Amino acid sequence: STSPCGWVVDLRTNTGGNPSAMLAAIGPILGEGPAGLFVYPDGATRTWAYRAGQVLIDQETAAVVAGPDYRLRQSEPPVALLTGRTTASAGETIVVAFRQRPNTRSFGQPTGGLTTAIDSFELSDGAMLLLSVATFADRTGQVYDGPMALDKIVADRDPDAAMQAALDWLQNQPACAKP
């Protein structure tokens, strides 16, 4: 049997959702440890991390993978991220989580620019108010406020161009080099 030498993570149509569930799903490829921060207006931060099938926010479990946690045969494999203008919100959480990760490169178009954490507040009449309460920062503390730039911008006229650029890059990585 063969095992993959690298991964393509296609976030081009990821418009958001539950970032903790997404981080739990992608965790084995992302790797263990801190992956990013929520940065609040008062300067406070909360760290998000992946460890053994769990997503932790300041050491509190936010999501758990059903069943045993998956382990890759090769640690820190090369990862090519594909993004586009509709990559937004929780989709951008994944992009931020891969920032500053070794063996990672991004391809496509800049993201949508909704790099904020949302919190809900119940009003007296039972209605819910959703507000942006924090911005995303990568594992080094670099804050992302707006659309995220990529390593390689690929014209969006051809949907296969970003995938091809990612595959070309992967094929030139040492882990994927043909003997």
Query: 135-168, pLDDT tens digit by residue?
Result: 999 999 999 999 998 999 987 778 789 999 999 9
Confidence of residue 71 (pLDDT cuts 50, 70, 90): confident
Sign of the C-alpha dihedral computed for residues 82, 173, 26 and 43 taken in this order: negative
Using a 10 angstrom Cβ sphere, with 0-12 exposed, 13-18 middle and 19 or more buried, the burial of residue 152 is middle
- C-alpha to C-alpha distances, 139 to 17, 32, 128, 152, nearest whole angstrom: 21, 12, 31, 21
The answer to whether 144 and 118 are in contact (CB under 8 A) is: no
* Residue 1 pLDDT greater than 70, yes or no: no
Mean of pLDDT values over 106-119: 94
Mean of pLDDT values over 68-75: 86
The answer to whether 47 and 34 are in contact (CB under 8 A) is: yes
* Residue 123 pLDDT greater than 60, yes or no: yes
pLDDT > 70 fraction of the chain, expressed in percent and rounded: 98
pTM of this structure? 0.91
**Mean of per-residue pLDDT scores for the chain:** 93
Q: What is the pLDDT of residue 179?
A: 65
